[in-house]
Amino acid sequence: MLYDLEERVEEAFVAYLQANVTGDMQVYTAFTDETLEYPCAVVMAASTSAVSDLAEYHSPRQMEIVVAVMTEAAPELDATTGGTVRTARERNAAARSDVIGALITSLKTNLIAAAGPGVAFSMAQIGGPVTRGLDEEQHAFVTTIPVDVIAEPVEVA
How does pLDDT run across 64-98, given as a tens digit for each residue?
999 999 999 999 999 999 999 999 999 999 999 99
Query: Residue 69 forms beta bridges with which residues?
Result: 41, 143
User: What whole-number distance in Å separates Cα of residue 67 and Cα of residue 145?
Assistant: 5
Which residue from 50, 68, 88, 85 is spatially nearest to 131, judged by alpha carbons? Answer: 68
pLDDT score at 115: 66
Residue 108 has pLDDT above 90, yes or no: no
pLDDT score at 157: 67
pLDDT score at 57: 63
User: What whole-number distance in Å separates Cα of residue 156 and Cα of residue 116?
Assistant: 10
Radius of gyration of the chain (CA): 17
46-50, 80-84, 104-108, 120-124: which is most confident: 80-84
Share of the chain above pLDDT 90, in %: 60
User: What whole-number distance in Å separates Cα of residue 16 and Cα of residue 14?
Assistant: 5
pLDDT score at 116: 66
User: What whole-number distance in Å separates Cα of residue 36 and Cα of residue 51?
Assistant: 33
Domain 5-153 -> CATH class: alpha beta
